[in-house]
Structure 1
């Protein structure tokens, strides 16, 4: 008998930002496979006695291969258990969700996806800014600052990313932001464009640094720190 998998989006880490549906699934789970950024107080909502399996991937640290995570997910579900795959932020945004869905579909295992608060929205809220504004920021764009090797992805459309009338949110981009900023300025984005760094959003050590494209690139070229971060640049990132 096949089990069932719930992909639960945990938001940025603050348990108060969990949806009611997310809490319900955690309380009913037989097994929880969780990311590093979904650990801590959020796991306190899991059912007593549930198997807790850490499968998080962090840059610069030993991490399980994605194929291994997908295999574990299938194996737990094939025992007939109710499985929660707990992902940080919103699971559909840079969370490698599709690879895990593909594995479940191939094994014939049913699933559901429970959306959550994306780290982009949480970072903007923590900074006290909106992501859009009439006339001057009518578009929001998300990009990842790292490919599978940890480097800045190739083939990015710099003219789009250098649009001065868009709000751009960079996920997993602290290490590669200096290179990205250089390319953005070469594409015409002014160096004094507002930029902010939101670190450890939703956690007690949360920190917001307001800067400019040039200054933030300089800061991150000297030190990136160890905490997770979101970078926002554009007219609203003041």
Structure 2
């Protein structure tokens, strides 16, 4: 047998590297809180400072970016409602591409990326590509923003539970999977995220399903930032009042008896 025809020696078991082992970089999904950098976790802030690349959007605590090492690359993948937006598939590709180049990539999100964020999609995209990925949960806007405005999600005697709802599609939409009749009768506090443009449709549906029109409601715009605005009303009035006030995303709406507590608490301060 000629030398060039000799069979290659058998490869030892386990010698072939997996895609994840071949990738020397990694992705860290960091929940950045609702905007105030003081609400970031220590682990999240440490991860951002240790990154080679930070992939961020306008809803995260972007004020920390100016203090990062000049060698850290910052990539803006912002999405403006009904405006310029980076497709999610492109964001996934950015994370995977930079990690495959051996970089530590931090995806900095507003709130918590595993609560109505695209963190789950980004996690799956990384694992499918063989890129190591970890999650550092954030301080979710659903609870921190109302709390900063003096509104607890639950309160003994008033509300024994809370339902956090994504309002990115209105009731009646083929994409909606929510049972608004059950929500209207649940007796829980309702916290609406991504529900500025759909607020009128959501409140109308809750009213139609039997929730009293005088149920307290509060909207908080740009929570935890210097631009925060708080608008108080009722289930029957909050959508109209928000439109007249020009409330814009990001904003959170709290519906339920606890929404009136901030006014009661202010009477004692």
Task: Determine if contact 1:178/1:220 at 8 Å carries over to the other structure.
Answer: no
Q: What's the offset of the Cα at 1:165?
A: 2.1
The aligned residue for residue 212 of structure 1 is 234
The aligned residue for residue 229 of structure 1 is 251
How many aligned positions are there? 236
Q: What's the offset of the Cα at 1:164?
A: 5.9
- Where does structure 2 lack aligned partners over 5 or more consecutive residues? 1-22, 261-269
Is residue 144 from structure 1 mapped to residue 166 from structure 2 by the alignment? yes
Partner Cα separation in structure 1 for residue 199 and residue 175 of structure 2:
11
Moved more, 220-229 or 173-182: 220-229
Task: Determine if contact 2:27/2:105 at 8 Å carries over to the other structure.
Answer: yes
TM-score w.r.t. structure 1 length? 0.93
Is residue 67 from structure 1 mapped to residue 89 from structure 2 by the alignment? yes
> Greater Rg, structure 1 or structure 2?
2
| SS of equivalent residue, structure 2 residue 258 | coil
Q: What's the offset of the Cα at 1:32?
A: 0.3
Q: What's the offset of the Cα at 1:53?
A: 0.3
Task: Determine if contact 1:30/1:47 at 8 Å carries over to the other structure.
Answer: no
The aligned residue for residue 180 of structure 1 is 202
Q: What's the offset of the Cα at 1:42?
A: 2.7
Is residue 13 from structure 1 mapped to residue 17 from structure 2 by the alignment? no
The aligned residue for residue 115 of structure 2 is 93
TM-score w.r.t. structure 2 length? 0.83
| SS of equivalent residue, structure 2 residue 94 | helix
- Where does structure 1 lack aligned partners over 5 or more consecutive residues? none
Task: Determine if contact 1:175/1:220 at 8 Å carries over to the other structure.
Answer: no
Moved over 6 A (4+): none
Moved more, 8-17 or 91-100: 91-100
